[in-house]
Structure 1
Amino acid sequence: MYSERVLAVLVLGWASVWASCPSSGNINPCKCRDETPGLIMDCSSVTSSAQLLSAFSHDMPDSSFQFFEIVKLSGRCPLEKIPANVFGSTTFMFVWFGQTEITTVDPQAFAGNELSMLELTIADANKLTSFPFESMGEMHSLYKLLLSNTKLDTISHVGPAPNLTQVSVTGSQVSSIVPQAFKDLGRLTRLDLHDNPLTSIQDGWFAASTSQPWVVYLDGCSISDISPGAFSGTLPSGVFLNGNQLTTLPEATFRPLLEHLQASDAAGDLAHYVDVTNNPLVCDCDIRWVVDSATLHPFLRDAVCSNGDVAGTNVVDLPSDFFASC
């Protein structure tokens, strides 16, 4: 990750030496700015996909830009879709669509940018109902994909983008994930799905084969159940479950995760913890396995009882006689 960012900065610095903005008349209503980080193409004033296509239909003195952005200071951009080959022969490294009315993204939307695009962000896209996850496999340089506040309800298979390390689909309507959706991301390090209605995590949803330590953020997802087969392959180095609806910690689900973290830590590899802060855990006989597994305690954060006389007590601090009747 660090080397990729260093390379990006070096490329930006080199590109800004020779690149120049095209004639404003050719790209209207987009505007080009030449700033210290590089060339910025600001298309916040477009009103349709046809208008956006037209802006990139002209030959430009320099076809390699650093930044594309649609960022409204007030209101929303009425752009409703991202069509195929939207940038024509122009390439970008960092692409940001924000505050739009986009409902769909064509699988070939970013054709021609397979080797240039490093980051793709579609933010505050509260009408986006579909996204071509499979086509991301063509984006050979992409290392960050961020989608936020969408109407996406399912994450389908993400194509095998060789350098994609971060995938975020947050604040959306995702309630289902195609099994092994992330299995082909060989360099995945961060998966962020916080604030989605992922109430029940099913088998294969978080199967992974990444060569990197990776973490998954599932905060605020109303999760009440996690299948023992939800995580497989390369197990995560951290699972963040703050603010969900877990009432228990099934051994078949959580022991493999905690033992993986323990083994990673012993080997000197990156190891975070399983964070279950702010979950209504019911402490009874079913949770005894946690108490009896003292070596795993450092890798479980804020497992706090919500019931009876032990409400507010961390599971690992339950008195020895609590399980006398088990």
Structure 2
Amino acid sequence: MHLLVYLSLGLFLLGAVASSRLSWPCPEPEEIAPCICTSEAGDINMDCSEVQNDEQLSAAFRANFPFTDLNQFTMIKSLSEDKIGVTKLSADTFGNVTFTSFAISHTTLTSVDDLAFSKSFAIMEFLVISYSELTSFPFDILKNCPKLKDLRVFNNQIKHMSNIHSESLEYLQVSHNPDLHFNDDTFQTAPNLKHLLLNKVDLQYIAPDTFAAQEKLEYLDLSMNKITSLVPDSLRFTSPVIGEIKLQNNHIETVEKGFISGLSGDTFLWMQHNRLTELPENVWKTVFDSVTSAASKDLFVFDDNPFRCDCHIKWLISSTTYMDVMGERASCDDGTLLNDATLGDFIIQHCPDRTLRD
């Protein structure tokens, strides 16, 4: 009788050890459900895309974690599904578990506590919260995240972005946050930004030198905003690798001399779908000259601007070099393409030579 008891106990213990080994290095599945923990090539990842509410998410991180230094946290639903019902991330949500990256999307999340990611500050490299309902985000935490390179908080309802203090940040996307406000010097203390996306935030004005501190900037997206004019040094760049500047789908009507400088030889400038009626020589000639050494063509895209095609554009259309820089679909307000040979011949024939005026 005693032998049977010992055998039964031994089998039970063996079963428990086997179960533990199957889940190791993750917690027991039932302790973190509906979250799922996986391990591959030494990385431990958590997927909590099936949680229904704040309590379920927090409960998962009260489990017994054999290791607390995890790699990736994921909580994502496709846009065709119902949103994940998590509404807030508090200082206690993730317990003592740390992650190097967070990917959160399509949730009912409205608030993020300043300390929500505090346990991960020292190691966090990537953070995205998108297609959610954030009305604010604690941008001030960036100064405490020395390894954070990529921050994306797009498609939310964030109304204010405080100054970005980060030596590590390379990619920042705050797009699709209607009526987002930020200071003229918001990016001065983020010198290593390479990609900056500020499209569809209802931006109306670009102050001088807003992006001059970014000496490594490659890509700037200011499209789909409400910009009406560009003043001197609005787009002064000090980066030698600036490759793409997107200003399409704004309300730009006036552009002042010196509005842009520092372009590299093959910088693309997207200006289509604006309200420009003129391309004054004293404003634009130096801009065209700054890229004419490049072998690339169609660098400046002006499609769907109602240009007045008269003698004021002779400087442009009489230069094959400048017309190579100009995108081929730019047109007059009557629909005639600027590169139309008949238009060019007519203007060259009937317009006197002009001296460039300041």
| Range into which the TM-score falls when normalised by the shorter chain | 0.7 to 0.9
Contact 1:138 1:159 (C-alpha < 8 Å) held by counterparts: no
In structure 1, the residue matched to 2:318 is: 292
Q: Give the 3 Å change call, closer, same or farther, for CA 249–23 of structure 1 in structure 2.
A: closer
Contact 1:77 1:100 (C-alpha < 8 Å) held by counterparts: yes
Letter in 2 for 1:102: L
SS in 1 for 2:307: coil
Contact 2:171 2:195 (C-alpha < 8 Å) held by counterparts: yes
In structure 1, the residue matched to 2:117 is: 87
In structure 1, the residue matched to 2:289 is: 259
Q: Give the 3 Å change call, closer, same or farther, for CA 254–27 of structure 1 in structure 2.
A: farther
Mapped to 2, the partners of 1:153 and 1:321 lie a distance apart of: 48
How many angstroms does 1:45 deviate by?
Answer: 4.0
SS in 1 for 2:127: strand
1:322 paired with 2:352, answer: no
Contact 2:104 2:128 (C-alpha < 8 Å) held by counterparts: yes
SS in 2 for 1:29: helix
How many angstroms does 1:78 deviate by?
Answer: 3.9
1:47 paired with 2:87, answer: yes
How many angstroms does 1:64 deviate by?
Answer: 3.6
Q: Superposition RMSD on alpha carbons, in Å?
A: 3.0
SS in 1 for 2:290: helix
Identity level (%): 18
Letter in 1 for 2:312: D
In structure 2, the residue matched to 1:29 is: 57
How many angstroms does 1:155 deviate by?
Answer: 5.9
Q: Deviations over 1:30-84 (max 9, x none)?
A: 669xxxxx52242854313xx432213x222xx243x312212xxx51413x443
How many angstroms does 1:183 deviate by?
Answer: 0.7
Letter in 1 for 2:90: L
In structure 2, the residue matched to 1:68 is: 102
Mapped to 1, the partners of 2:47 and 2:153 lie a distance apart of: 27
Q: Deviations over 1:176-210 (max 9, x none)?
A: 12321111111101001110011111222111101
Q: Give the 3 Å change call, closer, same or farther, for CA 247–68 of structure 1 in structure 2.
A: same
SS in 2 for 1:20: strand
Aligned length: 285
Q: Deviations over 1:208-254 (max 9, x none)?
A: 10131422011111211111121124457121011111111111222
Match of 1:305 among 318, 323, 332: 332
Match of 2:272 among 242, 254, 259: 242
Match of 2:306 among 271, 275, 280: 280
In structure 1, the residue matched to 2:137 is: 105
Letter in 2 for 1:39: Q
Q: Give the 3 Å change call, closer, same or farther, for CA 55–232 of structure 1 in structure 2.
A: same
SS in 2 for 1:42: strand
1:220 paired with 2:249, answer: yes
Letter in 2 for 1:259: D
In structure 1, the residue matched to 2:217 is: 188
Q: Give the 3 Å change call, closer, same or farther, for CA 243–23 of structure 1 in structure 2.
A: closer
Mapped to 2, the partners of 1:16 and 1:109 lie a distance apart of: 30
How many angstroms does 1:263 deviate by?
Answer: 2.0
In structure 2, the residue matched to 1:20 is: 44
SS in 2 for 1:242: coil
SS in 2 for 1:120: strand
Q: Give the 3 Å change call, closer, same or farther, for CA 254–71 of structure 1 in structure 2.
A: same
Match of 1:121 among 152, 159, 163: 152
Q: Which runs of 5+ in 2 are unaligned?
A: 1-38, 62-70, 77-83, 353-358
Q: Give the 3 Å change call, closer, same or farther, for CA 113–325 of structure 1 in structure 2.
A: closer
Mapped to 1, the partners of 2:47 and 2:103 lie a distance apart of: 18
